[in-house]
Structure 1
Amino acid sequence: MKFLIFILGLAITFFLAFLVSSNRKQIKYKPILIMLVIQLTLTYFLLNTSIGFILIKGVSDMFGTLLNYAASGVNFVFGGLTNKGEFPFFLNALLPIVFIAVLIGILQHFKILPFIIKGIGLLLSKVNGLGKLESYNAVAAAIIGQGEVFITVKDQLSNLPKNRLYTLCASSMSTVSMSIVGSYMTMIDPKYVVTALVLNLFSGFIIVHIVNPYTVREEEDILELQLEEKQTFFEMLGEYIMLGFTIAVTVAAMLIGFVALITAINGVFDSIFGITFQTLLGYVFSPIAFIMGIPASEMLEAGKIMSTKLVTNEFVAMLDLSKVAGDLSSRTVGILSIFLVSFANFSSIGIIAGATKSIDIKQANVVSKFGLKLLYGATLVSILSGTIVGVML
């Protein structure tokens, strides 16, 4: 049965992407098929083999160690402020971002990270049917961050046509920043975080091939990266420490606002209509949950969590999932976990538009115009990744 649902899920996801395609005649089906096979192979390897288990455990243990290191700094500053036995989300899940950001800064400073990103990007460009710039940007966005990645390609950004600009922005919204991966691992099973990072990369390429197909001519396929101004080691440390802290505080502020807002809206809807806003959205998203492979008995609850991610952000949705995970099957928890690991929400439109505006106002206006299409495509990426995992669980 799950194989039939898998085929149905793929068909509906591709159909929804096909509906908004900018040039259906130019869709390249060969790279789509190749990447779909790669996704299925990698998903089986990561979730159903002993080697995959060892690999994921290694990554999980690495982040666990990093979070322990980060905790030493957090405890030094904030130790004793929380009540014993309680989970202080800001301290345990968000402030470790500061330390992870510092590690990224060090790898950037010594040119290790750019070398890795460029190498993986060039390798991906051989199989995804897209340009070198698009492949680099997808990998870089998953490591550096959805806003910061545009700085590294700012010399090319101003001259990009609309179709290539869409692909760069879509990659930024479909992935997640490595600086907050550790925070995700405190809320959902690390194996799903790692699997989602891999799947979303290819799902993003697949959906872009359908929604925004085009061909990059060889003379246009040039990757020129913007080199950062030379800083001393300690200047760099100070900059990335503040960047990490800014990210942590920003996420905390968004959580406060979104959680309070969704609670208020739920209260208003419940008092007037006798049903919460989240439950109402759950009915809208429940068919999508079903085609991803979630059992019919749990698709309403799953739909509520999926819709929460879209209208708020992935952190709020992960917190909601953690509250009901014990009442859901492991299959549902796994599929939902994969779906939640991305930046596909309304606030990301503003973040990406803001990042491009700091470089080129004209291009930022272009980004704002296709903002909803970006979110639509990024949501399809999450649905595709969840569908692929659904057939393996």
Structure 2
Amino acid sequence: MNYLISIVGLIVVLGLAWIASNNRKEIKIRPIIQMLILQVILTFLLLNTKFGLILIKGIAAGFEKLLDFANEGINFVFGGLANEGQAPFFLTALLPIVFISVLIGILQHIKVLPFIMKWLGWVISKVNGMGKLESYNGVASAIVGQSEVFITVKKQLGQLSPQRLYTLSASAMSTVSMSIVGAYMTMIEPRYVVTAIVINLFGGFIIASIINPYTVTEEEDLLVVQSEKQSFFEMLGEYILDGFKVVIIVAAMLIGFVALMAGVNTLFDMIFGISFQEIMGYVFAPFAILMGIPVSESVTAGGIMATKLITNEFVAMLSLNELASNLSERSIGIISVFLVSFANFSSIGIISGAVKGLHEQQGNVVARFGLKLLYGATLVSVLSAIIVSFIL
């Protein structure tokens, strides 16, 4: 029965993408099928094999060690701030982002990351049927982040058609940056974080291939990666400050959104006898069911999904932890994968702002298709959750 629901869910998601397609005749079926099969294989390897278990344990252990290193700096500055036995979310989950941001900067500076992103993107371009730029951008988005990735390709921004710009923006919104992966791993199981990062990459290409199909000519299929010349210590200072800005922005958004959600829930409860989150749970419940969530748990899951879309994934992960006792292990795994992406309303402003800062006209183009961008990125999250439901 679970397989049947997952198959129906897959058909519905691809159908919703097809309805929004701007050129259905251009849709290339073969690369889409290849990527769907690859998603299932990778998910099985990561979640159901000894190799996957060893790999994820290794990655989780690596991030745990990085968090330990980060805590050395955090304890030096904030030592004694927390009471014995307490672990404030700001200190344990958010501040380590600063250290991981520095590591990314170092790997960028010594040309390790550009090399990995370029050649991994080239390999993926042979599978997805897209251009080198699109494939590179998908990999780069998952490493450096949804706004920073555009800096690496800023020389080409002004020459891109709206179709190619949509695909680049969709990849950025469908993935998450490595700098905050450690924070996610303190909130949900690392195996779901790693799995979501891998399959979201291909899910972004699948949905973009349906909603926004086009063909890149050999003349257009160029990849010009921008590399800023900085001294090592200039780079360190920049990435330290960038990481801290991310921490402050995420913390501020959490304070605002969590407080707002609590206020709105209370207001709705007083007026209607049901919280806003529960109402949205009913709206999203059908999608939760299509993702393989049991009907009895679908409203709870739908509320968490809605929270992610309206606020952000951090608020939704906190909500998942609060409501985990009402959900089965399988449902928690499916929802966890759904939550690992930047698909929410605030990302429209972040991405269009990032592009506008580099090229004003192209930033306006991104803003105009912002809702369609969010629509596609949300379908990517649902698709990844459905793929995982086949395996769990």
Does the alignment reach a TM-score above 0.5? yes
**Residue 51 of structure 1: aligned partner:** 51
Which residues of 2 match residues 68-87 of structure 1 at below 5 A? 68-87=68-87
Task: Give the distance between the partners of 1:253 and 1:179, measured in 2 at CA.
Answer: 18
- Which SS does the other structure have where 2:187 is aligned? coil
**Residue 132 of structure 1: aligned partner:** 132
Relative to structure 2, which stretch is displaced further, 265-274 or 345-354? 265-274
Question: How many angstroms does 1:386 deviate by?
Answer: 0.0
| Unaligned segments of structure 1, at least 5 residues | none
**Residue 262 of structure 2: aligned partner:** 263
Quick one: which amino acid aligns to residue 79 of structure 1? G
Task: Give the distance between the partners of 2:328 and 2:68, measured in 1 at CA.
Answer: 30
**Residue 153 of structure 2: aligned partner:** 153
Identical counterparts, % of pairs: 65
Task: Give the distance between the partners of 2:317 and 2:104, measured in 1 at CA.
Answer: 24
| Unaligned segments of structure 2, at least 5 residues | none
Matched, 1:100 2:76: no
Task: Give the distance between the partners of 2:390 and 2:227, measured in 1 at CA.
Answer: 43
**Residue 345 of structure 2: aligned partner:** 346
Greater than 4 Å deviation, 4+ residue runs: none
Quick one: which amino acid aligns to residue 235 of structure 2? M
Contact 2:175 2:197 in 1 (8 A): yes
Matched, 1:315 2:314: yes
Q: Deviations over 1:69-106 (max 9, x none)?
A: 10111011101111223230000000000000000000
Task: Give the distance between the partners of 1:257 and 1:84, measured in 2 at CA.
Answer: 27
**Residue 26 of structure 2: aligned partner:** 26
Relative to structure 2, which stretch is displaced further, 165-174 or 77-86? 77-86
Quick one: which amino acid aligns to residue 253 of structure 1? A
Task: Give the distance between the partners of 1:357 and 1:163, measured in 2 at CA.
Answer: 17
**Residue 115 of structure 1: aligned partner:** 115
Q: Deviations over 1:206-253 (max 9, x none)?
A: 00011001110111100011121x222111111111111110111000
Question: How many angstroms does 1:271 deviate by?
Answer: 1.4
Matched, 1:37 2:53: no
- Which SS does the other structure have where 1:358 is aligned? helix
**Residue 389 of structure 2: aligned partner:** 390
Quick one: which amino acid aligns to residue 376 of structure 2? G
Task: Give the distance between the partners of 2:153 and 2:231, measured in 1 at CA.
Answer: 22
Task: Give the distance between the partners of 2:164 and 2:358, measured in 1 at CA.
Answer: 16
Relative to structure 2, which stretch is displaced further, 257-266 or 185-194? 257-266
- Which SS does the other structure have where 1:226 is aligned? coil
**Residue 367 of structure 1: aligned partner:** 366
Task: Give the distance between the partners of 2:227 and 2:387, measured in 1 at CA.
Answer: 38
Root-mean-square deviation (CA, aligned residues, Å) is 0.7
Task: Give the distance between the partners of 2:154 and 2:45, measured in 1 at CA.
Answer: 37
Relative to structure 2, which stretch is displaced further, 82-91 or 363-372? 82-91
**Residue 323 of structure 2: aligned partner:** 324
Which residues of 2 match residues 146-295 of structure 1 at below 5 A? 146-228=146-228, 230-295=229-294
Quick one: which amino acid aligns to residue 276 of structure 1? S
Quick one: which amino acid aligns to residue 323 of structure 1? E
Task: Give the distance between the partners of 2:302 and 2:84, measured in 1 at CA.
Answer: 34
Contact 2:297 2:326 in 1 (8 A): no
Contact 2:132 2:222 in 1 (8 A): yes
- Which SS does the other structure have where 2:358 is aligned? coil
Q: Deviations over 1:233-281 (max 9, x none)?
A: 1111111111111101110001011111111111221111111111110
Question: How many angstroms does 1:325 deviate by?
Answer: 1.5
Task: Give the distance between the partners of 2:339 and 2:94, measured in 1 at CA.
Answer: 17
Task: Give the distance between the partners of 1:84 and 1:128, measured in 2 at CA.
Answer: 51
Matched, 1:65 2:62: no
**Residue 335 of structure 2: aligned partner:** 336
Question: How many angstroms does 1:323 deviate by?
Answer: 1.3
Q: Deviations over 1:331-377 (max 9, x none)?
A: 00000000000000000000001101101111111111100000000
Question: How many angstroms does 1:391 deviate by?
Answer: 1.1
Q: Deviations over 1:105-133 (max 9, x none)?
A: 00011011100100100000000011000
Task: Give the distance between the partners of 1:156 and 1:90, measured in 2 at CA.
Answer: 37
Question: How many angstroms does 1:326 deviate by?
Answer: 2.8
Task: Give the distance between the partners of 1:124 and 1:24, measured in 2 at CA.
Answer: 23
TM-score (norm 1): 0.99
Question: How many angstroms does 1:287 deviate by?
Answer: 0.6
**Residue 142 of structure 1: aligned partner:** 142
**Residue 306 of structure 1: aligned partner:** 305
Task: Give the distance between the partners of 2:138 and 2:345, measured in 1 at CA.
Answer: 20
